[in-house]
Every structure is written in C-alpha cells, then in structure tokens.
Amino acid sequence: MGFEHKYRVHWADGMKINKDHFIDLENSMLQQLMMINSNYIHQNNFGLLPDQSNNEQPVNLSVSMDGQETLVVVLNKCFAVTLGGGQIIINEAVNAYLEQSGYIIQNRFNIDQEHSLWYIVVSVNPYNRVAIGFADPDEEPARKPYVISEYNISLVPESAMNVNEVGYNSITVGKVILENNQLILVDDFIPPCTSIQSHPELRYTFTEIGAFFNAMELYNTHIVQKIYQNKQNNDLAKMALILSNDVLVYLKGIISEYRIKDKYEPPVEMILKVMNLARIIKGSLDVHINAGKEEFLNYLTEWCGTNQGEFENVLQEVINLEYIHIDISTSIQKASEFTMLMNTLFKKLSELEYIGKKNMADVFVKEDKNIEKPIKKRRRFFDGPV
C-alpha cells in the first residue's frame, strides 16, 4: 500500500454531509496518529507488543495443507505495531466478531517447488474498514456497530524478502520450510518484537545471557586472583591477565544496565551486548599479534575442545553479525554458539591451578573439523549453574 496523504475535511456552514465526510475525518486522524507513532519506530524496534498476561504465545498461526500443493494459513492472534506506526490487533474478541460476520483472517497459497523457504507476512490497511458486531434491533437502518482494519496474509519466498524491512504496514509472523516434500512451520521462529518482553523465547534468552554475563564475571575474577596469588610472570599468564581484565572492565560497565534497563528494550540491545563482548575479546587477543598471540590461542583452544581456526571464526561471525529484525532467531543462534564456547573456555581457565598448565588429555583436533551442534529444543548460552 503506497503512501497517500489523507487531507482534513473542510467543514462549512450549511454544507450537506454524509458518512463519507466522517470517514475522511477519521482516516485523516488515523494517518496523523500513525505518523506520530512512526517517529519513534525504526527498523529494529517494530513488531510484536508485550502481552500483559505473558502466559501465551504472542502469535497464533494455523497452517495446513489443502491438497498436494495448496497451503492454508489462518491468523488467530497477533498484537503488534508496524514500521509505519499501524496497529495489528487480532485477539479472541476480534475473532468472535469476525466469525459472526463470516470473515476469517486467512489465505490460500499454491506452493511451487522452486523455493524451499517462505515467510508468512501479515499486512494491515487501516483505511479499509471491515464491519463487525451485532446489529441493534432498535436501530434503523440495521448496521454492524463497529469496524476494524482490514488484514491480509501473504507468503513471501526468502529470496524475495528484504531482510531490513517488509513494508510500512506489514510484519513477518511465521516461517515455513519445504522438507522432504512436506511443509513445516518453523517452531523456533521469532517475529520482529518491540521489546524483549514481547516473546517468551526472548525472555528466556535474556535470562540465559544474563546468567552467562554473571558467570563470565566470576570466571575472570578467579583467573585474575589466581595469577596474582601465584605470582605468575610467564607470557601466557600475562596475556591471560590482560584478557581477563579487559573482559571484567566491560562486564562491570554493562551488567547493571543489562539487568535493569535492557529487559524492556528491543532485542537488538541484548544482541549488541554480546557482539561488543566478542569485539573486546578479539581486540585483547589482537594486541599480541607477532608477540605470542598464536601460542596463546593454541593454549586457549586446548581447553575448549576446538582449534584456532574455529575459535577465531566464532568470534568473527559474532562481531560481523548482521542483525535481522524480521527473523530474530538467526542472530540469537550465533550469540548462543559464541556464549557456549566462551563459557567453556573461561570456566576451564578459572579452574586451573596456574595459567600455562597443559591439557594432559592431549586431544588432537583437525583444523578442518566441523563442530557438531546437538539438537536441542531450546538454545543454551552457558553450561551449568553459576
């Protein structure tokens, strides 16, 4: 839906009026409100709004196959704001009115075999009015008393999707993949969200990353304490001391803000905290280029079950991560891989009697080995209680 300015109605004494004048007035006011809302919305903070109950999934989609190549999508629940400031309000009350009117928010799609992944997109047109409600028998002429905005569902192939935005009046609410000639609704998909509180998986992720930050603070404190207590002066200990101090300075500056402020912020703020930690760690290692970095990295990777190439790749992937707000799960997966690796490393270092001790297990890891990722129902960000 392209932008069309809704002008205010010019009222004059004695003019003949009808319902169109009031509709034009309402549309003008709606557009003004949406424009005001859009001033506070950008590509990284539109989407699902927090649900006060916090007990149910914020989006309720029904996906089924009708025949061999026809996909039926029904949207039962969604509470969101679009990039353009438009509101999407679909709940039980709205659905009850719509069913009474014989109107269901659904669409059918013919699936082609050229693509294997699609996004389910819901769009709102606030200027197209759908009448709902029960007519008052005492009112003439009979009419449905209320209206809601018109909603439409579309299915967009991944190749045709703009990852930065989906339009001013649309949001992604689901993802479907074609696997073994069967269409599957991706269950760990997280739509764009205005706040971490908008989705239960984001709240879980926030808690896990917070626990990871606390664990990292504890581990690095122990590393620094042991280096000082044992009066270690070897090159590996010196580099470990610099690394741990850099991590501690960063964590002490962000943990309180993360715990109190970020829990209500858009998800990108949470991801940024992890990205910045990766940059701190890489920067602390890079100052030792041609001065022991290779030896130190080899020593570190002995204790975390990987190799130097894999270790640096994980760091680099998080540092250069492209945050995709319309599909937040992709960014969270990268953050999870990073936090699990860092937790394993620093936990082990904090348990060593002294820095420089060799791993007696003498595990040989080939440079081109791929780390197998266990299939889990939920992502993990650190291993074990703190």
Residue-wise DSSP of 21-32: HHHHHHHHHHHH
pLDDT digits (tens, 9 = 90+) for 252-268: 999 999 999 999 999 99
Domain count for the chain, please give it. Answer: 2
Average pLDDT of the chain? 88
- Domain-embedded: residue 374: no
3: buried, middle or exposed (CB in 10 Å: 19+, 13-18, 0-12)? exposed
Q: What is the pLDDT of residue 83?
A: 94
Integer Cα distance of 226 and 108 in angstroms: 64
- Domain-embedded: residue 269: yes
Residue where a domain stops, chosen among 185, 217, 250: 185
The helix (run of H) or strand (run of E) holding residue 48 is strand 47-48
- Domain-embedded: residue 378: no
* Beta bridge partner(s), residue 177: 117, 184
CA distances from 122 to 74, 89, 129, 175 (A): 10, 11, 16, 12
- Domain-embedded: residue 54: yes
Assess whether 200 and 222 both reside in one domain.
yes
Assess whether 108 and 225 both reside in one domain.
no
CA angle, residues 42, 46, 52, in degrees to nearest 5: 140
Integer Cα distance of 178 and 187 in angstroms: 14
Residues spanned by the domain of 149: 19-185
Task: Answer whether 159's CB lies under 8 Å from 112's CB.
Answer: no
pLDDT digits (tens, 9 = 90+) for 81-132: 999 999 999 998 899 988 887 888 999 998 887 888 999 999 999 999 999 9
Interhelix angle 200-229/329-351, rounded to 10 degrees, is 20
Q: Where are the alpha helices (DSSP H) in the chain?
A: 19-38, 92-100, 200-229, 235-260, 267-286, 293-302, 308-319, 329-351
Assess whether 280 and 167 both reside in one domain.
no
Integer Cα distance of 103 and 130 in angstroms: 9
Q: How many CA atoms lie within 13 A of 157 on its CB side?
A: 9
Residue where a domain stops, chosen among 185, 218, 245: 185
Q: Where are the alpha helices (DSSP H) in 159-199?
A: none
Task: Answer whether 63's CB lies under 8 Å from 111's CB.
Answer: no
Q: What is the pLDDT of residue 357?
A: 62
- Give the percent of the chain with pLDDT over 70: 89
Integer Cα distance of 278 and 317 in angstroms: 9
Assess whether 119 and 69 both reside in one domain.
yes
Integer Cα distance of 225 and 233 in angstroms: 13
Assess whether 206 and 81 both reside in one domain.
no
Q: What is the pTM of this model?
A: 0.87
Assess whether 202 and 314 both reside in one domain.
yes
Assess whether 242 and 347 both reside in one domain.
yes
* Beta bridge partner(s), residue 150: 125
Q: What is the pLDDT of residue 275?
A: 98
Question: Which residue's entry shows tokens 């993990």?
Answer: 380
Q: How confident is the model at residue 365 (pLDDT cuts 50, 70, 90)?
A: very low
CA angle, residues 200, 90, 41, in degrees to nearest 5: 70
Task: Answer whether 83's CB lies under 8 Å from 114's CB.
Answer: no
Assess whether 176 and 203 both reside in one domain.
no
Assess whether 89 and 217 both reside in one domain.
no
pLDDT over 80 (residue 211): yes
Assess whether 202 and 181 both reside in one domain.
no
Assess whether 125 and 202 both reside in one domain.
no
pLDDT digits (tens, 9 = 90+) for 301-351: 887 778 888 889 999 999 999 999 999 999 999 999 999 999 999 999 999
3-state SS class at 369:
coil
- Domain-embedded: residue 383: no
pLDDT digits (tens, 9 = 90+) for 26-45: 999 999 999 999 999 999 99
Computed on alpha carbons and rounded to an integer, the radius of gyration of the chain in Å comes to 27
- Domain-embedded: residue 145: yes
3-state SS class at 152:
strand
- Domain-embedded: residue 385: no
The closest of 333, 57, 322, 24 to 173, measured between CA atoms, is 57
Task: Answer whether 250's CB lies under 8 Å from 311's CB.
Answer: no
Residue where a domain stops, chosen among 150, 166, 185: 185
Integer Cα distance of 326 and 159 in angstroms: 14
Q: What is the pLDDT of residue 377?
A: 56
- Domain-embedded: residue 133: yes
3-state SS class at 160:
helix
Q: In terms of DSSP bridges, do strands 60-65 and 70-81 run parallel, antiparallel, or are they unpaired?
A: antiparallel
Assess whether 254 and 164 both reside in one domain.
no
3-state SS class at 34:
helix
**Torsion, CA 31, CA 34, CA 40, CA 43, rounded to 10:** -110
